[in-house]
Amino acid sequence: MQKLWVATRKGLIEIRNGDVANVTFLGVPVTQVYARGDEVFAAVGHGHFGAKLHRSRDGGATFEEVKAPAWPPKPPGPDEKDPMGRVIPWSLEQIWTIEKSGDVLWIGALPAGLFRSADGGQSWQMVRALWDREERKQWMGGGYDVPGIHSVRIDGRRVLCGISTGGLWASEDAGETWELRGKGLWAAYNPPELKYDLNSQDVHRIAACDAQPDVLWLQHHNGAFRSADGGRTFTELAVPPSSFGFAVAAHPRDPQTAWFAPAIKDEKRVPVDGAMVVARTRDGGKSFEVLRRGLPQKNAFHLVYRHGLDVDAAGESLAMGTTTGALWTSRDQGESWQELSKDLPPIYAVRFG
Amino acid sequence: MPRVTFTGNLQRLVAAPPAEVAGATVREALDAVFAQNPRLRGYILDDQGALRRHVSVFVGGEPVKDRKGLSDAATAEISVLQALSGG
């Protein structure tokens, strides 16, 4: 039976048969969740006591704490500072994304460190080849005081990282060497000289088509984009009713289909005209349908954050959770939506598993 | 042999009973506790070994001055608390 996991400000919520089946870590922020079968990883963010990682091997019935990724010792010398003058800590502040490929677990963090574990979280290696890039010192916080890695995509030896703000970084050799990609992305918020600077693009979220992973969908701070060449070049898309947003989900088999969750604009992070909608394309982003059946169409203030939209492995069911605690699911690719609750805590991530 | 106590708010997350340990400085005393209870370390210290931003440590009622090095002398009971700054 398909489960849906909802990581929230006040715990991890498991949904079965359209209802809340279980709550773990009650009262504690759960910043990310990953689930495949009986294996579930939950990133727990104890404000005072740091970010921790817990693993379940029985489908979420019980969890045990495993090691969280940690920074290596910082070389002696003054604090590192970002271009805003803020100290970049060499210490884990938040687990922002969790992915697994084969037996290897990957974590993208705040600050923007990438980590891998080959033993299910018993030990971690930082991907130094990315952290040690000189360009890293130009990255800036996007949504948080420190920059972070919110999207990690693994396909064979290819590793892609989406960084807010630090653009799209790619490795074709399992993380040994890295290059900046993202030609075609542009930043309205930058001075003219930096408009096309790849390293300062505020990538909000990346989603790839599992069957054709060269096809990437990218929600950016000031637009939506699609790539058909593994992120080397992008085409800008016109998403109705607005191209601003955080989340995007890619159909696992059809490289022409993706879903976006638009909001008005960066300074007005609410649905256009108070009507909650999802924008779907089925022709590679040339055109979009605005889907609204079952979603509130007036006085809606919901925002779907980066990891708040997911599609299942079949490409049929969708889940969408908002920062104001509403959760909807769809069983027909977004044509119609069912409200599961409007009373949940702020939702950080939804994930089928 | 300084005594080290931990905030009750920590107890729901990780076992942190009071401990009597050897140590001339706060660092030495905490390291002695963590040697017996390794999981506790990451709840108190960041990845570089400094006190977490929202954790406070007192020695006999005085807040430690060296939050990075923890070189303050362990002359009295050491209390590890949750700072209100973290909300």
Question: B54: nearest CA in chain A?
Answer: A48
Instruction: Please write the tens of the pLDDT for every residue from B38-79.
Output: 999 999 999 999 999 999 999 999 999 999 999 999 999 999
Residues of B in contact with A11 (CB under 8 A): none
Q: Which residue has the higher pLDDT, A125 or B1?
A: A125
Residues of A in contact with B44 (CB under 8 A): 49
Q: Is B39 left (phi over 0), alpha (psi -120 to 50) or beta?
A: alpha
pLDDT at site A83: 87
Residue B15 lies in a domain: yes
Residue B73 lies in a domain: yes
Amino acid at A296: P
Residue B47 lies in a domain: yes
Q: Structural domain of residue B23, as residue ranges?
A: 3-82
Instruction: Please write the tens of the pLDDT for every residue from A8-30.
Output: 999 999 999 999 999 999 999 99
- Mean pLDDT throughout A130-154? 94
CA dist A243 and A27 (Å) reads 34
CB atoms within 10 A of CB B24: 12
The tokens 């969890």 sit on which residue? A63
pLDDT at site B85: 63
pTM: 0.95
Residue B56 lies in a domain: yes
- Mean pLDDT throughout A250-269? 93
Residues of A in contact with B42 (CB under 8 A): 50, 52, 68, 70
Residue by residue, DSSP assigns A27-89 as: TS-EEEEEEETTEEEEEEEETTTEEEEEEESSTTSS-EEEPPP-PPPPPSSSPPB-TTS-B--
- Tally the domains of chain B: 1
Residue B54 lies in a domain: yes
Surface-to-core class of residue A215, CB atoms within 10 Å of its CB (0-12 exposed, 13-18 middle, 19+ buried): buried
In this prediction the ipTM stands at: 0.90
CA dist A57 and A41 (Å) reads 9
* Candidates B10, B47, B55; nearest CB to A92: B47
Residue B71 lies in a domain: yes
The CATH number of the domain holding residue B43 is 3.10.20.30
**Strands lying side by side in the sheet with A278-281:** A244-250, A258-263, A278-281, A289-291
For A247, how many CA atoms within 13 A lie in the half-sphere containing its CB?
32
pLDDT at site A198: 96
Query: Residues 16..45 of B with a Cβ closer than 8 Å to A: which?
Result: 39, 42-44
Q: What is the DSSP letter of A136?
A: G
C-alpha distances in Å from residue A118, one per residue of A4, A35, A144: 26, 17, 29
Tokens coding A345 = 């805590």
Tokens coding A348 = 């950080």
Residue B87 lies in a domain: no
- Mean pLDDT throughout A245-250? 97
Residues of B in contact with A65 (CB under 8 A): 14, 39
Instruction: Please write the tens of the pLDDT for every residue from A279-295.
Output: 999 999 999 999 999 99
Instruction: Please write the tens of the pLDDT for every residue from A260-276.
Output: 999 988 778 889 999 99
pLDDT at site A47: 83
- Asked if residue A191 has a cis previous peptide bond (ω within 30° of 0), the answer is no
CB atoms within 10 A of CB A293: 12
CA dist B50 and A159 (Å) reads 32
Instruction: Please write the tens of the pLDDT for every residue from A169-200.
Output: 999 999 999 999 999 999 988 889 899 999 99
Instruction: Please write the tens of the pLDDT for every residue from B4-18.
Output: 999 988 988 999 999
The count of CB pairs under 8 A between chains A and B is 43
pLDDT at site A266: 78
Residue B29 lies in a domain: yes
- B9 vs A90: CB contact, 8 Å cut-off? no
Q: What is the DSSP letter of A132?
A: T
Would you say A108 and A96 are in contact if contact means Cβ atoms under 8 Å apart? yes
Instruction: Please write the tens of the pLDDT for every residue from A72-90.
Output: 999 999 999 988 888 999 9
For Cα atoms A353, A278, A272, give the angle at the middle one, nearest 5 degrees.
Answer: 140
Q: B82 — contact with chain A (CB < 8 Å)?
A: yes
Question: E strands within B1-87?
Answer: 3-6, 19-20, 55-59, 62-63, 78-82
